[in-house]
Chain A
Amino acid sequence: MKNVITTEGLNLTFQTNDGPVHALSDVNLEVGQGDFVSFIGPSGCGKTTFLRVIADLEKPTGGSISVNGMTPEQARRERAYGYVFQAASLLPWRTIEKNVALPLEIMGLSSTEQKERTSRVLELVDLAGFGKKYPWQLSGGMQQRASIARALAFDADLLLMDEPFGALDEIVRDHLNEQLLKLWDRTNKTICFVTHSIPEAVYLSTRIVVMSPRPGRVTDVIESTLPKERPLEIRESKEFLEIAHRVREGLRAGHSYDE
Protein backbone atom coordinates (compact mmCIF):
# COMPACT_ATOMS: atom_id res chain seq x y z
CA MET A 1 0.00 0.00 0.00
CA LYS A 2 1.24 3.46 -0.95
CA ASN A 3 1.85 5.91 1.86
CA VAL A 4 0.05 9.23 1.60
CA ILE A 5 1.64 10.77 4.68
CA THR A 6 4.96 9.80 6.22
CA THR A 7 6.57 11.57 9.16
CA GLU A 8 9.87 10.85 10.84
CA GLY A 9 10.86 12.38 14.15
CA LEU A 10 8.55 15.33 13.56
CA ASN A 11 8.98 18.17 16.07
CA LEU A 12 7.25 21.49 16.47
CA THR A 13 8.09 23.97 19.19
CA PHE A 14 6.23 27.26 19.53
CA GLN A 15 8.20 30.13 21.04
CA THR A 16 5.87 31.94 23.41
CA ASN A 17 6.40 34.60 26.03
CA ASP A 18 6.20 31.91 28.71
CA GLY A 19 9.02 29.98 27.05
CA PRO A 20 8.97 27.24 24.42
CA VAL A 21 5.90 25.01 24.08
CA HIS A 22 6.50 21.56 22.62
CA ALA A 23 3.39 21.04 20.53
CA LEU A 24 4.76 17.97 18.75
CA SER A 25 7.59 15.78 19.89
CA ASP A 26 9.15 13.00 17.85
CA VAL A 27 6.06 11.97 15.89
CA ASN A 28 6.62 8.96 13.59
CA LEU A 29 3.60 7.99 11.56
CA GLU A 30 2.52 6.53 8.27
CA VAL A 31 -0.88 7.00 6.73
CA GLY A 32 -1.66 4.71 3.81
CA GLN A 33 -3.84 5.28 0.76
CA GLY A 34 -7.52 4.87 1.63
CA ASP A 35 -6.97 4.87 5.41
CA PHE A 36 -9.37 6.56 7.79
CA VAL A 37 -7.11 7.72 10.60
CA SER A 38 -8.44 9.41 13.72
CA PHE A 39 -6.30 11.49 16.04
CA ILE A 40 -7.58 11.52 19.58
CA GLY A 41 -6.29 13.06 22.78
CA PRO A 42 -7.00 15.75 25.36
CA SER A 43 -6.72 19.39 24.36
CA GLY A 44 -3.12 20.53 23.98
CA CYS A 45 -1.90 17.14 22.75
CA GLY A 46 -1.03 18.56 19.35
CA LYS A 47 -3.58 16.70 17.26
CA THR A 48 -4.83 19.83 15.54
CA THR A 49 -1.26 21.10 15.20
CA PHE A 50 -0.31 17.84 13.49
CA LEU A 51 -3.16 18.26 11.01
CA ARG A 52 -2.07 21.85 10.40
CA VAL A 53 1.50 20.71 9.74
CA ILE A 54 0.20 18.27 7.09
CA ALA A 55 -1.77 21.16 5.57
CA ASP A 56 1.27 23.49 5.61
CA LEU A 57 -0.56 25.88 7.95
CA GLU A 58 2.27 25.38 10.47
CA LYS A 59 5.95 24.71 9.80
CA PRO A 60 7.61 21.91 11.77
CA THR A 61 10.81 22.85 13.62
CA GLY A 62 12.41 19.44 13.21
CA GLY A 63 12.13 16.05 11.56
CA SER A 64 10.68 15.30 8.19
CA ILE A 65 7.22 14.98 6.71
CA SER A 66 6.04 14.10 3.23
CA VAL A 67 2.55 14.40 1.79
CA ASN A 68 1.94 12.48 -1.44
CA GLY A 69 5.72 12.21 -1.71
CA MET A 70 6.12 15.99 -1.60
CA THR A 71 6.78 18.58 1.08
CA PRO A 72 3.58 19.91 2.67
CA GLU A 73 4.11 23.23 0.90
CA GLN A 74 4.35 21.59 -2.52
CA ALA A 75 1.30 19.50 -1.66
CA ARG A 76 -0.64 22.61 -0.71
CA ARG A 77 0.36 24.35 -3.94
CA GLU A 78 -0.80 21.29 -5.87
CA ARG A 79 -4.04 21.39 -3.87
CA ALA A 80 -3.51 17.84 -2.72
CA TYR A 81 -5.92 17.99 0.20
CA GLY A 82 -9.28 19.35 1.27
CA TYR A 83 -9.48 20.83 4.77
CA VAL A 84 -12.61 20.93 6.94
CA PHE A 85 -12.46 23.24 9.94
CA GLN A 86 -14.24 22.93 13.26
CA ALA A 87 -16.49 25.84 12.28
CA ALA A 88 -18.15 25.54 8.90
CA SER A 89 -16.54 28.87 7.85
CA LEU A 90 -18.97 29.38 5.00
CA LEU A 91 -18.80 32.91 3.61
CA PRO A 92 -22.13 34.51 4.61
CA TRP A 93 -22.50 36.54 1.41
CA ARG A 94 -22.26 33.51 -0.85
CA THR A 95 -24.99 30.96 -1.46
CA ILE A 96 -24.19 27.34 -0.61
CA GLU A 97 -23.52 26.69 -4.29
CA LYS A 98 -21.15 29.65 -4.52
CA ASN A 99 -19.42 28.64 -1.30
CA VAL A 100 -18.75 25.18 -2.67
CA ALA A 101 -17.55 26.71 -5.93
CA LEU A 102 -15.09 29.05 -4.13
CA PRO A 103 -12.04 26.73 -4.38
CA LEU A 104 -12.97 25.96 -7.99
CA GLU A 105 -13.10 29.67 -8.84
CA ILE A 106 -9.69 30.10 -7.27
CA MET A 107 -8.35 27.19 -9.33
CA GLY A 108 -9.73 28.93 -12.41
CA LEU A 109 -12.06 26.19 -13.63
CA SER A 110 -14.61 27.01 -16.30
CA SER A 111 -18.08 27.88 -15.06
CA THR A 112 -19.64 24.78 -16.62
CA GLU A 113 -17.13 22.57 -14.84
CA GLN A 114 -17.74 24.51 -11.61
CA LYS A 115 -21.47 23.90 -11.90
CA GLU A 116 -21.02 20.24 -12.73
CA ARG A 117 -18.69 19.58 -9.78
CA THR A 118 -20.72 21.69 -7.36
CA SER A 119 -23.94 19.82 -8.02
CA ARG A 120 -22.10 16.49 -7.82
CA VAL A 121 -20.59 17.13 -4.39
CA LEU A 122 -23.77 18.69 -3.03
CA GLU A 123 -25.51 15.49 -4.07
CA LEU A 124 -22.79 13.54 -2.27
CA VAL A 125 -23.51 15.26 1.06
CA ASP A 126 -27.28 15.16 0.56
CA LEU A 127 -27.67 18.88 -0.02
CA ALA A 128 -28.99 18.84 -3.57
CA GLY A 129 -31.70 21.49 -3.79
CA PHE A 130 -30.09 23.72 -1.16
CA GLY A 131 -27.56 25.30 -3.50
CA LYS A 132 -29.40 28.60 -3.79
CA LYS A 133 -29.79 29.05 -0.03
CA TYR A 134 -27.58 31.27 2.07
CA PRO A 135 -25.66 29.71 4.99
CA TRP A 136 -27.88 31.33 7.64
CA GLN A 137 -30.89 29.53 6.14
CA LEU A 138 -29.33 26.13 6.96
CA SER A 139 -28.98 24.28 10.28
CA GLY A 140 -25.55 23.81 11.84
CA GLY A 141 -25.32 20.23 10.62
CA MET A 142 -26.24 21.19 7.08
CA GLN A 143 -23.69 24.00 7.14
CA GLN A 144 -21.00 21.55 8.16
CA ARG A 145 -22.07 19.20 5.37
CA ALA A 146 -21.78 22.10 2.93
CA SER A 147 -18.26 22.76 4.16
CA ILE A 148 -17.41 19.07 3.61
CA ALA A 149 -18.83 19.37 0.09
CA ARG A 150 -16.56 22.37 -0.43
CA ALA A 151 -13.54 20.34 0.67
CA LEU A 152 -14.55 17.53 -1.68
CA ALA A 153 -15.17 19.86 -4.61
CA PHE A 154 -11.66 19.95 -5.97
CA ASP A 155 -11.27 16.22 -5.87
CA ALA A 156 -8.18 15.90 -3.71
CA ASP A 157 -7.47 12.34 -2.56
CA LEU A 158 -6.75 13.47 0.98
CA LEU A 159 -9.31 14.95 3.35
CA LEU A 160 -8.15 16.63 6.57
CA MET A 161 -10.91 17.16 9.12
CA ASP A 162 -10.38 19.10 12.34
CA GLU A 163 -13.17 18.20 14.79
CA PRO A 164 -15.76 18.88 12.10
CA PHE A 165 -18.68 17.68 14.21
CA GLY A 166 -17.42 18.99 17.56
CA ALA A 167 -19.97 21.78 17.82
CA LEU A 168 -22.98 19.67 16.85
CA ASP A 169 -25.41 17.78 19.06
CA GLU A 170 -25.12 14.03 19.39
CA ILE A 171 -28.06 13.06 17.17
CA VAL A 172 -26.84 15.16 14.26
CA ARG A 173 -23.34 13.92 14.92
CA ASP A 174 -24.37 10.24 14.68
CA HIS A 175 -26.12 10.94 11.44
CA LEU A 176 -23.15 12.80 9.96
CA ASN A 177 -20.74 10.08 11.11
CA GLU A 178 -22.79 7.51 9.26
CA GLN A 179 -22.89 9.68 6.16
CA LEU A 180 -19.18 10.35 6.35
CA LEU A 181 -18.43 6.61 6.36
CA LYS A 182 -20.61 6.09 3.32
CA LEU A 183 -18.91 8.96 1.59
CA TRP A 184 -15.47 7.59 2.43
CA ASP A 185 -16.55 4.18 1.11
CA ARG A 186 -17.82 5.65 -2.14
CA THR A 187 -14.95 8.03 -2.84
CA ASN A 188 -12.08 5.93 -1.49
CA LYS A 189 -10.34 8.99 -0.08
CA THR A 190 -7.72 9.05 2.64
CA ILE A 191 -9.12 10.82 5.69
CA CYS A 192 -7.31 12.27 8.69
CA PHE A 193 -9.84 13.09 11.37
CA VAL A 194 -9.21 14.95 14.62
CA THR A 195 -11.66 14.35 17.45
CA HIS A 196 -11.89 14.09 21.18
CA SER A 197 -14.80 11.69 21.20
CA ILE A 198 -13.80 8.07 21.77
CA PRO A 199 -16.96 6.51 20.20
CA GLU A 200 -16.61 8.76 17.16
CA ALA A 201 -12.97 7.76 16.69
CA VAL A 202 -13.68 4.04 17.08
CA TYR A 203 -16.78 4.10 14.89
CA LEU A 204 -15.13 5.90 11.98
CA SER A 205 -11.53 4.79 11.83
CA THR A 206 -9.41 2.07 10.37
CA ARG A 207 -6.62 3.35 12.63
CA ILE A 208 -6.75 5.37 15.81
CA VAL A 209 -3.77 7.46 16.86
CA VAL A 210 -3.82 8.21 20.58
CA MET A 211 -1.88 11.31 21.58
CA SER A 212 -0.88 12.87 24.89
CA PRO A 213 0.05 16.44 25.78
CA ARG A 214 3.14 18.25 27.12
CA PRO A 215 4.95 17.47 24.91
CA GLY A 216 2.48 16.38 22.22
CA ARG A 217 3.40 12.84 21.20
CA VAL A 218 1.88 9.62 19.92
CA THR A 219 1.32 7.11 22.72
CA ASP A 220 -0.55 4.36 20.87
CA VAL A 221 -1.65 3.43 17.36
CA ILE A 222 -4.62 1.07 17.27
CA GLU A 223 -5.56 -0.87 14.15
CA SER A 224 -9.32 -1.31 14.09
CA THR A 225 -10.59 -4.83 13.58
CA LEU A 226 -14.11 -3.66 12.75
CA PRO A 227 -15.42 -4.50 9.25
CA LYS A 228 -15.64 -1.77 6.66
CA GLU A 229 -19.43 -2.03 6.66
CA ARG A 230 -20.49 -0.35 9.92
CA PRO A 231 -24.11 0.16 10.90
CA LEU A 232 -24.63 2.46 13.92
CA GLU A 233 -25.56 -0.62 16.01
CA ILE A 234 -21.98 -1.83 15.76
CA ARG A 235 -21.25 0.51 18.65
CA GLU A 236 -22.90 -1.95 21.03
CA SER A 237 -20.80 -4.91 19.83
CA LYS A 238 -18.13 -6.47 22.03
CA GLU A 239 -15.41 -5.75 19.50
CA PHE A 240 -16.29 -2.06 19.41
CA LEU A 241 -16.24 -1.80 23.19
CA GLU A 242 -12.88 -3.55 23.36
CA ILE A 243 -11.31 -1.07 20.98
CA ALA A 244 -12.92 1.82 22.86
CA HIS A 245 -11.49 0.42 26.08
CA ARG A 246 -8.02 0.27 24.61
CA VAL A 247 -8.30 3.88 23.44
CA ARG A 248 -9.40 4.93 26.91
CA GLU A 249 -6.48 3.08 28.47
CA GLY A 250 -4.13 4.77 26.05
CA LEU A 251 -5.48 8.18 26.94
CA ARG A 252 -5.19 7.46 30.64
CA ALA A 253 -1.62 6.18 30.36
CA GLY A 254 -0.52 9.22 28.38
CA HIS A 255 -1.97 11.78 30.69
CA SER A 256 -2.05 12.20 34.42
CA TYR A 257 -5.20 14.01 35.46
CA ASP A 258 -3.81 14.86 38.89
CA GLU A 259 -1.85 17.86 37.63
Chain B
Amino acid sequence: MTRKGKTIPVLTIVAAIVMLWYIGSVWMNAPFEYDQAERLSKPAPAFGELVTKTMAQERPVLPAPHQVLTEIYETTVLKKITSKRSLIYHAWITLSATLLGFVIGTALGIALAVGIVHNRAMDKSVMPWVITSQTIPILAIAPMIIVVLNAAGISGLLPKALISTYLSFFPVVVGMVKGLRSPSMSELDLMRTYNASRAQTFWKLRWPSSMPYLFTSLKVAVAISLVGAIVGEMPTGAVAGLGARLLAGSYYGQTIQIWSALFMAAALAAVLVMLVGFAHAYVLRQMGQKPGGALA
Protein backbone atom coordinates (compact mmCIF):
# COMPACT_ATOMS: atom_id res chain seq x y z
CA MET B 1 0.00 0.00 0.00
CA THR B 2 1.50 3.34 -0.98
CA ARG B 3 1.02 6.60 0.85
CA LYS B 4 -0.32 8.09 -2.34
CA GLY B 5 -3.18 5.62 -2.19
CA LYS B 6 -4.14 6.89 1.28
CA THR B 7 -4.04 10.67 0.75
CA ILE B 8 -7.24 11.09 -1.24
CA PRO B 9 -9.50 9.03 1.04
CA VAL B 10 -8.10 10.75 4.14
CA LEU B 11 -8.56 14.23 2.66
CA THR B 12 -12.09 13.36 1.57
CA ILE B 13 -13.04 12.38 5.11
CA VAL B 14 -11.41 15.51 6.56
CA ALA B 15 -13.28 17.73 4.07
CA ALA B 16 -16.56 16.02 4.97
CA ILE B 17 -15.94 16.54 8.70
CA VAL B 18 -15.09 20.23 8.21
CA MET B 19 -18.22 20.73 6.15
CA LEU B 20 -20.45 19.04 8.72
CA TRP B 21 -18.79 21.14 11.39
CA TYR B 22 -19.57 24.40 9.58
CA ILE B 23 -23.18 23.35 9.06
CA GLY B 24 -23.38 22.38 12.72
CA SER B 25 -21.96 25.66 13.94
CA VAL B 26 -24.40 27.71 11.85
CA TRP B 27 -27.30 25.60 13.07
CA MET B 28 -26.28 25.58 16.74
CA ASN B 29 -25.31 29.25 16.94
CA ALA B 30 -28.40 30.52 15.06
CA PRO B 31 -30.80 30.66 18.07
CA PHE B 32 -28.53 33.24 19.74
CA GLU B 33 -28.68 35.47 16.64
CA TYR B 34 -32.48 35.21 16.49
CA ASP B 35 -32.66 36.11 20.20
CA GLN B 36 -30.39 39.11 19.68
CA ALA B 37 -32.52 40.39 16.81
CA GLU B 38 -35.70 39.95 18.82
CA ARG B 39 -34.26 41.74 21.85
CA LEU B 40 -33.18 44.70 19.73
CA SER B 41 -36.56 44.60 17.90
CA LYS B 42 -34.85 44.10 14.59
CA PRO B 43 -36.18 41.81 11.86
CA ALA B 44 -34.79 38.25 11.90
CA PRO B 45 -31.50 38.15 10.00
CA ALA B 46 -31.52 36.88 6.43
CA PHE B 47 -29.70 33.66 5.68
CA GLY B 48 -26.53 35.27 4.32
CA GLU B 49 -26.21 37.56 7.32
CA LEU B 50 -27.01 34.71 9.69
CA VAL B 51 -24.17 32.62 8.31
CA THR B 52 -21.56 35.39 8.70
CA LYS B 53 -22.76 36.28 12.18
CA THR B 54 -22.89 32.73 13.51
CA MET B 55 -19.28 32.25 12.49
CA ALA B 56 -18.02 35.32 14.31
CA GLN B 57 -19.61 35.06 17.77
CA GLU B 58 -17.47 35.62 20.79
CA ARG B 59 -18.94 32.77 22.83
CA PRO B 60 -20.46 30.45 20.26
CA VAL B 61 -22.10 27.17 21.28
CA LEU B 62 -20.00 25.53 18.59
CA PRO B 63 -17.15 27.66 17.27
CA ALA B 64 -16.44 27.44 13.55
CA PRO B 65 -13.20 25.64 12.56
CA HIS B 66 -11.48 28.83 11.42
CA GLN B 67 -12.21 30.51 14.77
CA VAL B 68 -10.48 27.65 16.57
CA LEU B 69 -7.53 27.74 14.17
CA THR B 70 -7.18 31.49 14.62
CA GLU B 71 -7.23 31.08 18.40
CA ILE B 72 -4.58 28.35 18.21
CA TYR B 73 -2.45 30.53 15.94
CA GLU B 74 -2.76 33.53 18.25
CA THR B 75 -1.96 31.59 21.40
CA THR B 76 0.98 29.66 19.97
CA VAL B 77 2.79 31.68 17.32
CA LEU B 78 1.89 35.16 18.45
CA LYS B 79 2.41 34.69 22.21
CA LYS B 80 5.71 34.30 24.00
CA ILE B 81 6.19 30.78 25.29
CA THR B 82 6.63 32.08 28.84
CA SER B 83 3.31 33.91 28.74
CA LYS B 84 0.45 32.44 30.80
CA ARG B 85 -1.76 32.90 27.76
CA SER B 86 0.48 30.83 25.53
CA LEU B 87 -1.00 27.48 24.61
CA ILE B 88 2.50 26.10 24.19
CA TYR B 89 3.27 26.99 27.81
CA HIS B 90 0.19 25.10 28.97
CA ALA B 91 0.89 22.20 26.64
CA TRP B 92 4.40 21.89 28.07
CA ILE B 93 3.05 21.81 31.65
CA THR B 94 0.77 18.94 30.68
CA LEU B 95 3.42 17.22 28.59
CA SER B 96 5.97 17.19 31.40
CA ALA B 97 3.49 15.55 33.76
CA THR B 98 2.48 13.12 31.00
CA LEU B 99 6.05 12.05 30.30
CA LEU B 100 7.03 11.69 33.94
CA GLY B 101 3.88 9.67 34.62
CA PHE B 102 4.46 7.58 31.53
CA VAL B 103 8.03 6.74 32.54
CA ILE B 104 7.03 5.81 36.10
CA GLY B 105 4.00 3.87 34.82
CA THR B 106 6.09 1.93 32.32
CA ALA B 107 8.70 1.07 34.95
CA LEU B 108 6.01 0.03 37.43
CA GLY B 109 4.17 -1.99 34.78
CA ILE B 110 7.28 -3.85 33.71
CA ALA B 111 8.32 -4.51 37.31
CA LEU B 112 4.88 -5.94 38.15
CA ALA B 113 4.88 -8.08 35.01
CA VAL B 114 8.32 -9.49 35.82
CA GLY B 115 7.09 -10.30 39.32
CA ILE B 116 3.91 -11.93 38.04
CA VAL B 117 5.82 -14.10 35.55
CA HIS B 118 8.52 -15.19 38.02
CA ASN B 119 6.72 -15.44 41.33
CA ARG B 120 3.84 -17.81 41.91
CA ALA B 121 2.39 -15.85 44.80
CA MET B 122 2.38 -12.66 42.72
CA ASP B 123 0.96 -14.52 39.76
CA LYS B 124 -2.01 -15.61 41.88
CA SER B 125 -2.56 -12.36 43.77
CA VAL B 126 -1.55 -9.25 41.86
CA MET B 127 -3.63 -9.37 38.68
CA PRO B 128 -7.06 -9.00 40.36
CA TRP B 129 -5.82 -5.86 42.14
CA VAL B 130 -4.41 -4.45 38.93
CA ILE B 131 -7.77 -4.96 37.21
CA THR B 132 -9.71 -3.58 40.20
CA SER B 133 -7.54 -0.45 40.13
CA GLN B 134 -8.82 0.33 36.67
CA THR B 135 -12.49 -0.06 37.55
CA ILE B 136 -12.33 2.95 39.89
CA PRO B 137 -13.13 6.10 37.91
CA ILE B 138 -10.00 8.20 37.61
CA LEU B 139 -12.09 11.33 38.27
CA ALA B 140 -12.90 9.98 41.72
CA ILE B 141 -9.35 9.07 42.65
CA ALA B 142 -7.51 12.04 41.13
CA PRO B 143 -8.56 14.68 43.72
CA MET B 144 -7.69 12.28 46.54
CA ILE B 145 -4.20 11.71 45.23
CA ILE B 146 -3.68 15.45 44.86
CA VAL B 147 -5.04 16.23 48.33
CA VAL B 148 -3.21 13.41 50.13
CA LEU B 149 0.11 14.20 48.50
CA ASN B 150 -0.39 17.89 49.13
CA ALA B 151 -0.90 17.14 52.82
CA ALA B 152 2.37 15.21 52.72
CA GLY B 153 4.06 18.28 51.28
CA ILE B 154 4.30 17.04 47.72
CA SER B 155 2.76 19.28 45.10
CA GLY B 156 3.33 20.40 41.56
CA LEU B 157 4.48 17.96 38.92
CA LEU B 158 4.61 14.68 40.83
CA PRO B 159 0.97 14.32 41.94
CA LYS B 160 -0.25 14.91 38.39
CA ALA B 161 2.35 12.50 37.04
CA LEU B 162 1.16 9.87 39.51
CA ILE B 163 -2.35 10.09 38.10
CA SER B 164 -0.84 9.44 34.67
CA THR B 165 1.05 6.55 36.20
CA TYR B 166 -2.15 5.16 37.69
CA LEU B 167 -3.64 4.90 34.21
CA SER B 168 -0.60 4.02 32.14
CA PHE B 169 0.86 1.12 34.13
CA PHE B 170 -2.17 -1.02 33.35
CA PRO B 171 -1.68 -1.71 29.62
CA VAL B 172 2.02 -2.24 30.29
CA VAL B 173 1.38 -4.92 32.94
CA VAL B 174 -1.13 -6.74 30.78
CA GLY B 175 1.00 -6.55 27.62
CA MET B 176 4.25 -7.48 29.33
CA VAL B 177 2.81 -10.47 31.19
CA LYS B 178 1.71 -11.79 27.84
CA GLY B 179 4.99 -10.79 26.19
CA LEU B 180 7.24 -12.34 28.83
CA ARG B 181 5.20 -15.54 28.55
CA SER B 182 5.34 -15.58 24.76
CA PRO B 183 8.44 -17.83 24.35
CA SER B 184 7.38 -21.29 23.20
CA MET B 185 7.82 -24.43 25.27
CA SER B 186 10.66 -25.59 23.05
CA GLU B 187 12.49 -22.27 23.45
CA LEU B 188 12.17 -22.57 27.22
CA ASP B 189 13.26 -26.23 27.06
CA LEU B 190 16.25 -25.13 25.01
CA MET B 191 17.35 -22.72 27.75
CA ARG B 192 16.86 -25.52 30.26
CA THR B 193 19.14 -27.87 28.31
CA TYR B 194 21.80 -25.14 28.49
CA ASN B 195 21.30 -25.04 32.25
CA ALA B 196 20.62 -21.31 31.92
CA SER B 197 19.88 -19.37 35.09
CA ARG B 198 16.57 -17.53 35.49
CA ALA B 199 18.31 -14.24 34.84
CA GLN B 200 19.88 -15.57 31.65
CA THR B 201 16.55 -16.96 30.45
CA PHE B 202 15.00 -13.58 31.18
CA TRP B 203 17.54 -11.40 29.39
CA LYS B 204 18.30 -13.69 26.47
CA LEU B 205 14.84 -15.06 25.81
CA ARG B 206 11.88 -13.54 27.64
CA TRP B 207 12.83 -9.87 27.38
CA PRO B 208 13.60 -9.81 23.63
CA SER B 209 10.49 -11.92 22.95
CA SER B 210 8.33 -9.36 24.73
CA MET B 211 9.45 -6.32 22.72
CA PRO B 212 6.55 -6.27 20.22
CA TYR B 213 4.09 -6.59 23.13
CA LEU B 214 5.85 -3.83 25.09
CA PHE B 215 5.62 -1.27 22.31
CA THR B 216 2.01 -2.06 21.53
CA SER B 217 1.22 -1.44 25.21
CA LEU B 218 3.31 1.73 25.27
CA LYS B 219 1.25 3.24 22.47
CA VAL B 220 -1.89 2.86 24.58
CA ALA B 221 -0.07 3.89 27.76
CA VAL B 222 1.31 7.16 26.41
CA ALA B 223 -2.11 8.25 25.14
CA ILE B 224 -3.87 7.57 28.45
CA SER B 225 -0.96 9.17 30.31
CA LEU B 226 -1.97 12.38 28.62
CA VAL B 227 -5.59 11.87 29.68
CA GLY B 228 -4.36 11.29 33.24
CA ALA B 229 -2.31 14.49 33.27
CA ILE B 230 -5.24 16.54 31.97
CA VAL B 231 -7.61 15.06 34.53
CA GLY B 232 -4.99 15.69 37.21
CA GLU B 233 -4.89 19.37 36.34
CA MET B 234 -8.57 19.89 37.02
CA PRO B 235 -8.72 19.47 40.82
CA THR B 236 -5.51 21.50 41.35
CA GLY B 237 -7.51 24.71 41.02
CA ALA B 238 -6.93 25.09 37.31
CA VAL B 239 -3.61 26.89 37.60
CA ALA B 240 -1.84 25.81 34.47
CA GLY B 241 -1.88 23.11 31.81
CA LEU B 242 -4.31 22.00 29.14
CA GLY B 243 -6.68 20.64 31.78
CA ALA B 244 -6.72 24.04 33.46
CA ARG B 245 -7.44 25.72 30.11
CA LEU B 246 -10.35 23.35 29.56
CA LEU B 247 -11.77 23.99 33.02
CA ALA B 248 -11.26 27.77 32.92
CA GLY B 249 -12.78 27.88 29.45
CA SER B 250 -15.89 26.10 30.66
CA TYR B 251 -16.21 28.40 33.74
CA TYR B 252 -16.26 31.51 31.58
CA GLY B 253 -18.04 30.10 28.53
CA GLN B 254 -14.88 30.48 26.43
CA THR B 255 -15.79 27.77 23.98
CA ILE B 256 -13.13 28.77 21.49
CA GLN B 257 -10.49 28.35 24.20
CA ILE B 258 -11.88 24.92 25.12
CA TRP B 259 -11.76 23.75 21.55
CA SER B 260 -8.27 25.02 20.95
CA ALA B 261 -7.05 23.26 24.13
CA LEU B 262 -8.79 20.11 22.92
CA PHE B 263 -7.05 20.35 19.57
CA MET B 264 -3.72 20.86 21.25
CA ALA B 265 -4.30 17.80 23.44
CA ALA B 266 -5.25 15.73 20.39
CA ALA B 267 -2.17 16.89 18.49
CA LEU B 268 0.01 16.12 21.50
CA ALA B 269 -1.45 12.63 21.79
CA ALA B 270 -0.93 12.01 18.07
CA VAL B 271 2.71 13.11 18.26
CA LEU B 272 3.38 10.98 21.36
CA VAL B 273 1.83 7.86 19.83
CA MET B 274 3.79 8.48 16.64
CA LEU B 275 7.06 8.81 18.56
CA VAL B 276 6.42 5.50 20.31
CA GLY B 277 5.63 4.05 16.89
CA PHE B 278 8.99 5.23 15.54
CA ALA B 279 10.80 3.76 18.55
CA HIS B 280 8.91 0.50 17.96
CA ALA B 281 9.95 0.35 14.31
CA TYR B 282 13.53 1.23 15.18
CA VAL B 283 13.88 -1.44 17.88
CA LEU B 284 12.37 -4.16 15.72
CA ARG B 285 14.69 -3.20 12.87
CA GLN B 286 17.65 -3.47 15.24
CA MET B 287 16.35 -6.92 16.17
CA GLY B 288 16.62 -8.02 12.55
CA GLN B 289 12.92 -8.17 11.86
CA LYS B 290 11.96 -9.34 8.41
CA PRO B 291 10.89 -6.26 6.40
CA GLY B 292 7.11 -6.10 6.58
CA GLY B 293 7.29 -9.12 8.86
CA ALA B 294 4.78 -10.48 11.30
CA LEU B 295 6.47 -9.32 14.50
CA ALA B 296 4.70 -5.95 14.45
Contacts and interface: CB of A to CB of B under 8 A. Distances in A.
B200 interface: yes
Interface stretch (A62-70, A89-97, A222-230, A251-259): A89-97
B204 A105 contact: yes
Given A103-B194, A106-B200, A136-B293, A93 B186 contact: no
B17 interface: no
A79 B194 contact: yes
Contacts of A103: 194
Nearest to A147: B190
B293 A76 contact: no
Interface in A118-135: 134
B194 A87 contact: no
B186 A89 contact: yes
Contact of B195 (A76, A86, A92, A134): A76
A89 B204 CA distance: 14
A116 B161 CA distance: 51
A85 to B, nearest CB: 5
A76 B184 CA distance: 20
Interface in B169-196: 184, 186-187, 189-196
B287 interface: yes
A91 B205 CA distance: 8
A107 interface: yes
Which of A56, A81, A107, A136 is the most central at the interface, judged by chain B CB atoms within 10 Å of its CB? A136
B195 A85 contact: no
A93 B190 contact: no
A197 B142 CA distance: 66
B69 to A, nearest CB: 45
Interface string A93-120: 1110000001101110000000000000
A94 B186 contact: no
Contacts of B204: 91, 102, 105-106
Given A85-B189, A85-B190, A91-B187, A79 B288 contact: no
A5 to B, nearest CB: 15
Give the interface SS of chain B, mostly helix, strand, loop or mixed.
helix
A57 interface: yes
A106 B204 CA distance: 9
Nearest to A87: B186
Contacts of A238: none
Contacts of B288: 92-95, 134
B7 to A, nearest CB: 32
A92 B186 contact: no
A151 B103 CA distance: 40
A39 interface: no
A55 interface: yes
B194 A107 contact: yes
A134 B204 CA distance: 16
A89 B184 contact: yes
B187 A55 contact: no
A230 to B, nearest CB: 29
B193 A81 contact: yes
A76 B204 CA distance: 19
Contacts of A55: 193
A83 B187 CA distance: 11
B208 interface: yes
A154 B196 CA distance: 13
A148 to B, nearest CB: 13
Contact of A83 (B193, B200, B208): B193
B295 interface: yes
B120 interface: no
B290 interface: yes
B31 to A, nearest CB: 62
B283 to A, nearest CB: 10
A89 B192 CA distance: 13
A96 to B, nearest CB: 11
Contacts of A102: 194, 204
Contacts of B194: 79, 102-103, 106-107, 154
4 cross-chain pairs, A with B, having the tightest CB-CB distances, nearest first = A93-B287, A134-B288, A83-B193, A136-B290
5 contacts: A56-B192, A83-B193, A91-B208, A106-B196, A106-B200
